[in-house]
Structure 1
């Protein structure tokens, strides 16, 4: 009978449950991973093999079949290392099988058996809490995952997890990362003169309007735009949660610290359409999603590629970005305040 563990696959910010099933079978020795995984998932076999060697264990002789179900859901990332390793340990009797029935595993393995942080720990922990499961992750992801208000088991290594589930060692509870109420932001009082422009910024901030600053080089357009987030109120609890999930998926949360300061993103005018709205091989959030509930500043607006500017039209209207692929569709939130600057000619 196969042993199993639970993890997640990301579709935008949504963490969908994935069953990791491991079974020992006869045949040519090796680890075979099936279930529509990407290159990082297929490389898990070597990381798991090396981590087992670090524990003084050997991968069982014969064929080890790893199935990631549902099979038609694309799987991306290195966080499948830990659930595969734990399911295999349960299959060979190193740890009890029932220990994984009430947990969701999420983490990358090092060659020495250590656990490394991977992007997306916060939405994955929220999914585990919604399913009523404990969340197993790397120690480096513990402070971030603790914001989900569920039970978090954050271990530094695979051997520490084995000892924890066998009762010979206990993983200490983790505390949430710090909440930064509001760091130092550029203040509008730094600007001398430009009373009409400052008044326009205040009106735009009060009403949530987009704004275009037009003036000669050196007149202070960029300086004014950088001070726009300081006019906006701090993020509310719901907004903070949405922004932090995006930052988690993008790998931007530092030691689980959250901030109520509104995002401010200022991409270079050479940025591509995928960089602005999201996309790429793994459909990561773009600049407009990273600026969610904040300010997206486009300096030298006419220098941006026409295709990139056209791609911003629908997200600005609907407040979300939809990235379509042949076999799936990903949606990221993108409710931003757009500020742009340009020269008169």
Structure 2
């Protein structure tokens, strides 16, 4: 019986697995059987492929056609296998030679008239194909720029199934990726736009230098959102490996730019407080899709009006903030998405939130109930807490221009370089990644410097986790001051950041 095979890629989170597609032609009644744990969208592929093949000038074989996708126990989802299925059937009936299909990955969804539509996850899929030893990939033309990000893999683009057939017959060439062009720098708001708030600006600089989480509390209109949106402009650009990792997540999510897909600037994600828990953390039917926290990987997750998110959404961040990844179990398997983000929370001090505290009409119980939505375990993981005050006079700040992001960013990059040099043997890039036991054991500070932490622990004002986070903040303050290690003033300032009240 005629038999042929091609290759495609299945995605489990952002990890790809090469899938072998086999087509076997047999006798009997005309029908198509698809096996290998396909989902509903993939089961419909047999109808899409049949129409696309016929509308591309080829005949569809009579009799039974068995299509097997291996590994058989791996869930297959989506429409990206259409192109591989069509090529396998055409090779099985002898309409095209199978020589070029060897070690070639085929990705693309087929329209009924033979057009090839783009699919999600091209970058992580081709990275997995390269790691598995494949040499060539054929993708939709619209995904060609994204596919070209994978070095060491020959990629080509097709617009219609007829073009692939002509290429397999050596009758035409496929479209190759254009020469890469430098992407325009991303527009990031400048810190010079923020008037006043020196304490909050300093906290933002410390957060950027050490990768610390930040809580901004204050009445409406004092600049909480403005400060948060300017944090990505203070952070260093993504390293090449980080850039590919972030781009892979956005590829699976379907939010990549078609013209310049490579993400080089730390992403900024600011979901609305009405977001559902699966949309925030990740979820969905079948295998879970990435959520907002994964889209913010290597960047900033900003939760404005944090108290309006509710305990369920906020407390779901606690484990992720510690581990830097999220594992989501569904009926068809468990997926793991990276989620190493920098959290920025912004909240009003009470529900009425007047410009002046003296005008507040909320009772003490109401204010306490409102702020209690930020649970103690969540706040214990937030390093820096800052209270913003209303401006008393805008004209007082117009004589001296605020520092722009470029000036602050230079200090942040210098501090990060010091931290990177100190931790490079361990593989850590910032102070916030250093485990507490390492700070206390291998980089212990003199007892006089940590005496203030001992007193806070003894009085129950600080948890053991909070003490470790104070040490990380102290090291960041020392890096900004270009000192070899923190002193007593730095540890005291770090503790002051954590003891500031939110209301």
Could you say whether these structures have the same fold, taking a TM-score greater than 0.5 normalized by the shorter chain as the test? yes
2:135 matched residue in structure 1? 133
Report the Cα offset of residue 183 of structure 1.
Answer: 1.4
**8 Å contact 1:272–1:305 — kept in the other structure?**
no
Work out the CA distance in 1 between the residues paired with 2:244 and 2:88: 31
Q: Which has the larger radius of gyration?
A: 2
Higher share of residues assigned helix: 2
Correspondence 1:109-148 to 2 at 5 A: 109-130=110-131, 131-148=133-150
Instruction: Write 1 or 2 for the structure with the bigger share of strand.
Output: 1
Q: Which residue of 1 aligns with 2:338?
A: 333
Give the C-alpha shift of residue 256 in structure 1: 5.2
Confirm or deny that 1:193 pairs with 2:196.
Answer: yes
Aligned partner (choices 300, 303, 310) of residue 308 of structure 2 = 303
Counterparts of 1:333 and 1:25, CA distance in 2: 45
Corresponding residue number in structure 2 for 1:83:
84
Question: What is the CA–CA distance in structure 2 between the aligned matches of 1:327 and 1:267, rounded to whole Å?
Answer: 27
Give the TM-score normalised by the residue count of structure 2: 0.67
Greater displacement, 15-24 / 301-310:
301-310
- Aligned twin of 2:275: 271
The answer on whether the counterparts of 1:181 and 1:259 sit within 8 Å (CA) in structure 2 is no
Structure 1 residue runs of 4 or more that deviate by more than 2 Å after TM superposition? 175-182
Q: Distance in 2 between matches of 1:262 and 1:118?
A: 24
Match of 2:347 among 320, 342, 345: 342
SS of the residue corresponding to residue 45 of structure 1 reads: helix
Structure 1 equivalent of residue 13 of structure 2? 12
Say if 1:177 and 1:256, in contact at 8 Å, map to a contact too. Answer: no
Say yes or no: does 1:167 pair with 2:170: yes
Residue 323 (structure 2) aligned to one of 294, 306, 318: 318
Partner-residue secondary structure (3-state), 1:104: strand
Tell me the CA shift for residue 327 of structure 1. 4.2
Do the aligned residues in 1 keep the contact of 2:56 with 2:162 (CA within 8 Å)? yes
RMSD: 1.3
- Structure-1 separation of matches of 2:140 and 2:181: 18
SS of the aligned residue for 1:21 comes to strand
Shift of residue 191, structure 1, vs aligned partner: 0.6
Cα displacement (A) at 1:305: 2.6
Unpaired segments ≥5 residues, structure 2: 351-503
Q: How far 1:341 sits from its partner (Å)? A: 0.4
Gaps of 5+ in 1: none
2:263 equivalent to 1:259? yes
Number of the residue aligned with 1:24: 25
User: 1:180 Cα shift?
Assistant: 2.7
Q: Aligned in 2, Cα 1:178/1:262: closer, same or farther, shift over 3 Å?
A: farther
Shift of 1:188: 0.5
1:12 is displaced (CA, Å) by 0.8
The aligned residue for residue 103 of structure 1 is: 104
Number of aligned residues? 345
Alpha carbons 2:39, 2:78 under 8 Å: kept:
yes
- In structure 1, distance between residues paired with 2:208 and 2:293: 18
Q: Pick from 214, 217, 220: which aligns with 2:220?
A: 217
Relative to structure 1, the CA distance from residue 256 to residue 319 in structure 2 (aligned partners, 3 Å threshold; closer, same or farther) is farther
Q: Aligned-pair distance for 1:2?
A: 2.0
SS in structure 2 at match of 1:276: helix
| Residue in 1 that maps onto 2:365 | none
**Is contact 2:105–2:134 with CA below 8 Å preserved after alignment?**
no
Task: Tell me the secondary structure at the aligned position of residue 69 of structure 2.
Answer: strand
Deviates more, 1:270-279 or 1:122-131: 122-131
CA contact (8 A) 1:22 1:64 kept: yes
Partner of 1:148: helix, strand, or coil?
coil
Match of 1:147, SS? coil
Give CA-to-partner distance per residue, 1:159-196, whole Å, 9 cap, x none: 11111111111113213654536312001100111111
